[in-house]
Structure 1
């Protein structure tokens, strides 16, 4: 069995499969759906420290949780140690997450253009200041998520500084920022970080199915796996990987039925937590219909709809026509 427990600070999970923080994706409804499918720990979308301190309603909504959404982490993005500290203290008091994560890996131009995300990796001093500022005042364990650098030694230097500053865990995405999501994730670089640190290290990047999950765990020796883009519209991936790691067998499934059920559950959760107006439903519908029979025609018609239930009926009608 390769599905080990994961302990970060005082939080211990029954497994080591994590949902990555993703902008416009990991709202409360989607996190709950992934958790129902076997995710052991989930993270919110990244929340801008500046926006949160300016009482931006959308940013405040991103931290929304529920008793079923435990344990969960809130990810913060920013470049000012002082503002990040103030925002983290607010999050600790308001949302009471099990973990507070600092985004040091986002490669998006709009993020690095403000000196945030992976741009932070250009300054070892700032990386250390940010983590130590948070760990010095928070009761909540602090984690960080980084991308690798061109030089392995510089990646290891950053990783060591994050640990020395008091972080309780580190997630490493095995691509450089300039690669965005192209080329393959570098498992060798992730393994080097794991071998260097004593805190838990989570592998991220190209965890897309059962075999890639097993290979990443075996090769890197990491304490857990973080799944990102492969979960978009496909929360069932957690159940598939968990089953495979525990039994060595693949789950047989009807993709058409399973994705429709997941999308229906997602719509119901959005309604339950009043998140419809703050979610790009069409974008999520496109992800949930990816790979289905006639998905191109379905997506074209979905673009004319705004209501989730109407989208579900459209997919059902199309399926009935096909079969």
Structure 2
């Protein structure tokens, strides 16, 4: 059995599978669906510290949670230690998450262009100040998510600084920022970080099925796995991986029927939490129907729908050929 408990600060979970924070993806409804499928910890999509401090409505909605969405983390993005600290204090008081994460890995130009995300890794001073400013004032455990750097020693130096500043865990995406999502995740680089630190290290990147999950855990020795793009439109991946890590056997499932069922549940959750108006339902529906028989036709119908209830009705009347 390779599915171990995960302890971050005072938070302890029965498993070690985490849902990555993803922009426009990990809203409350999607997090709940992934949790129903076995995710042990979920993170919100990244929230701008500046937007939170300005009480931007869209930013405030991103932090929305529910009792069923526990334990969960809120990920902050920013470049100012002072603003990140103040935003984190607001988050702790307003949302009471189990974890607060700092985005130090996003490679998107709109993020790095403002000195945020992976751009922070260019300044050891900024990395240390941001984490230490937050851990000095928060009761909530602080985590960080980074990408690897050009030289291994520089990656290890950043990782050591994050631990020394008081972070309770570190997630490492095994690609350099310039790679974006091309090429392969460097498991050796992640393993080097794990061997260097005493806090939990979470592996991220290229975990897309049962075999890659097992191989990543075995090779890196990491304390947990963070699954990102492979979960988009496919939250059932958590159930598949968890079952495999627990039993060594693969789940037999009708993938297309499961996709439809997950889509119906997802839209129902959006309706339940009044998130349809703030979520690109069509975009998510397209992800969920990828690979389905007649997917082009069903996507055309989805594009003409006005609300979530109409989408549920359409999906309810749609069945895959045997």
TM above 0.5: yes
Counterpart position of 1:187: 187
- What per-residue deviation string (whole Å, max 9, x for no partner) do you get for residues 74-130 of structure 1? 000000000000000000000011110000000111100110000000101100000
Q: Does 1:270 align with 2:270?
A: yes
3-state SS of 1:293 partner: coil
Deviation at 1:300, TM superposition (A): 2.6
3-state SS of 1:45 partner: coil
* CA–CA distance in structure 2, aligned partners of residues 309 and 251 of structure 1: 31
TM-score by length of 2: 0.98
Counterpart position of 1:254: 254
Counterpart position of 1:55: 55
Counterpart position of 2:107: 107
Indicate if the aligned counterparts of 1:244 and 1:250 stay in contact, CA closer than 8 A. yes
- What per-residue deviation string (whole Å, max 9, x for no partner) do you get for residues 115-166 of structure 1? 0000000101100000000001101110000000111111000000000000
Counterpart position of 1:239: 239
Q: Does 1:308 align with 2:308?
A: yes
Deviation at 1:316, TM superposition (A): 4.6
* CA–CA distance in structure 2, aligned partners of residues 36 and 318 of structure 1: 23
Give the number of equivalent residue pairs.
Answer: 322
* CA–CA distance in structure 2, aligned partners of residues 265 and 317 of structure 1: 14
* CA–CA distance in structure 2, aligned partners of residues 315 and 94 of structure 1: 36
Q: Does 1:79 align with 2:79?
A: yes
Counterpart position of 2:136: 136
Which aligned pairs between 1:1-323 and structure 2 lie closer than 5 A? 1-319=1-319, 322=321
Indicate if the aligned counterparts of 2:23 and 2:46 stay in contact, CA closer than 8 A. yes
3-state SS of 1:129 partner: helix
* CA–CA distance in structure 1, aligned partners of residues 315 and 42 of structure 2: 28
Q: Flag structure 2 segments of 5+ consecutive residues without an equivalent.
A: none
Deviation at 1:303, TM superposition (A): 1.9
3-state SS of 1:202 partner: strand
Deviation at 1:317, TM superposition (A): 4.2
- What per-residue deviation string (whole Å, max 9, x for no partner) do you get for residues 235-254 of structure 1? 11000000000000000111
Indicate if the aligned counterparts of 1:281 and 1:306 stay in contact, CA closer than 8 A. no
TM-score by length of 1: 0.98
3-state SS of 1:32 partner: helix
* CA–CA distance in structure 2, aligned partners of residues 317 and 73 of structure 1: 36
3-state SS of 1:21 partner: coil
Deviation at 1:272, TM superposition (A): 1.0
Indicate if the aligned counterparts of 2:268 and 2:312 stay in contact, CA closer than 8 A. no
* CA–CA distance in structure 1, aligned partners of residues 212 and 297 of structure 2: 31
Deviation at 1:319, TM superposition (A): 2.8
- What per-residue deviation string (whole Å, max 9, x for no partner) do you get for residues 198-233 of structure 1? 000000001000000000000000000000011011
Deviation at 1:301, TM superposition (A): 2.6
* CA–CA distance in structure 1, aligned partners of residues 134 and 142 of structure 2: 7
Q: Flag structure 1 segments of 5+ consecutive residues without an equivalent.
A: none
- What per-residue deviation string (whole Å, max 9, x for no partner) do you get for residues 141-194 of structure 1? 100000001111110000000000000000000001111111111101000000
Indicate if the aligned counterparts of 1:255 and 1:292 stay in contact, CA closer than 8 A. no
Deviation at 1:308, TM superposition (A): 2.4
3-state SS of 2:139 partner: coil
- What per-residue deviation string (whole Å, max 9, x for no partner) do you get for residues 283-319 of structure 1? 1001110111121222233222232232344345453
Indicate if the aligned counterparts of 1:260 and 1:312 stay in contact, CA closer than 8 A. no
